Structure 1
């Protein structure tokens, strides 16, 4: 993606790559020193990933655990900092290990620098994943 791509357009492209299960191309959208944070991560889960390689290692097997089908209800909000957006969205699909439904709501705060994701704070709800039968926590750890 060109450096002139807006943060919103870059983010929409990243969602398409996740639906296509193209994790290498998704990781290529990251700055070398990019960080990914999970402020609500449960105990035993990473709270912060530092660097593109750490993000790549974390996401490498994502499609083996979660089969994403859609991102309904994506709302991207501009902020007073042009390089930062706030995203509200849902991810829908299935948990591969159980075949059960996957339906997760997210809020993400994403900052883009020079056409690459430099910071991504992912406020997902770990309580939804802990529900009996979800199978999500066991399959992605």
Structure 2
């Protein structure tokens, strides 16, 4: 992605890379000192990852657990800060281990500087971990 790409362009590109299961390229969109936060993470799950290396380690096996098929709902909202967007999205696919469905809604607050993601707050729904018949808790970690 060119450094002059908008945060929305970069984010859309990141979704395409996730669907392509190209985790190394997805990690390549991050600044070396990038931070991802999970404010609603349940006990035992990470709440904050600091640095590209930590993010890469966390995401390395993502496709082994979740097989994303589509992001059928994506709304990107500009903010008064030109380097920040708020995203509402829904990801669908299947849990690799069980073959069960994966259907998750997210809100993300993403900051981009010089064409790289510097901050990502991922407000995902931890209640899916408690849904009967899902093995998400064991599959996603």
1:60-79 equivalences in 2 (<5 Å): 60-79=60-79
* Moved beyond 3 Å, runs of 4+: none
Alignment partner, residue 36 of structure 1: 36
Alignment partner, residue 124 of structure 2: 124
Structure 2: gaps spanning 5 or more residues: none
Structure 1: gaps spanning 5 or more residues: none
CA distance in 2, matches of 1:44, 1:20: 29
**SS of match in other structure, 1:72:** strand
**SS of match in other structure, 1:73:** strand
Please say if 1:53 is aligned against 2:43: no
Using the TM superposition, give the Cα deviation of residue 129 of structure 1 relative to its aligned residue in structure 2, in angstroms. 2.5
Alignment partner, residue 90 of structure 1: 90
CA distance in 1, matches of 2:130, 2:63: 19
Any idea what the Cα deviations from partners look like across 1:44-87, whole Å, max 9, x if unmatched? 00000000000000000000000000001100000000000000
**SS of match in other structure, 1:133:** coil
Q: Under a length normalisation based on structure 1, what TM-score does the superposition of the two structures give? A: 0.99
CA distance in 2, matches of 1:63, 1:134: 17
RMSD: 0.6
Alignment partner, residue 2 of structure 2: 2
Any idea what the Cα deviations from partners look like across 1:77-125, whole Å, max 9, x if unmatched? 0000000000000000000011000000000000001000000000000
CA contact (8 A) 2:30 2:52 kept: yes
CA distance in 2, matches of 1:117, 1:78: 15
Q: Under a length normalisation based on structure 2, what TM-score does the superposition of the two structures give? A: 0.99
**SS of match in other structure, 2:72:** coil
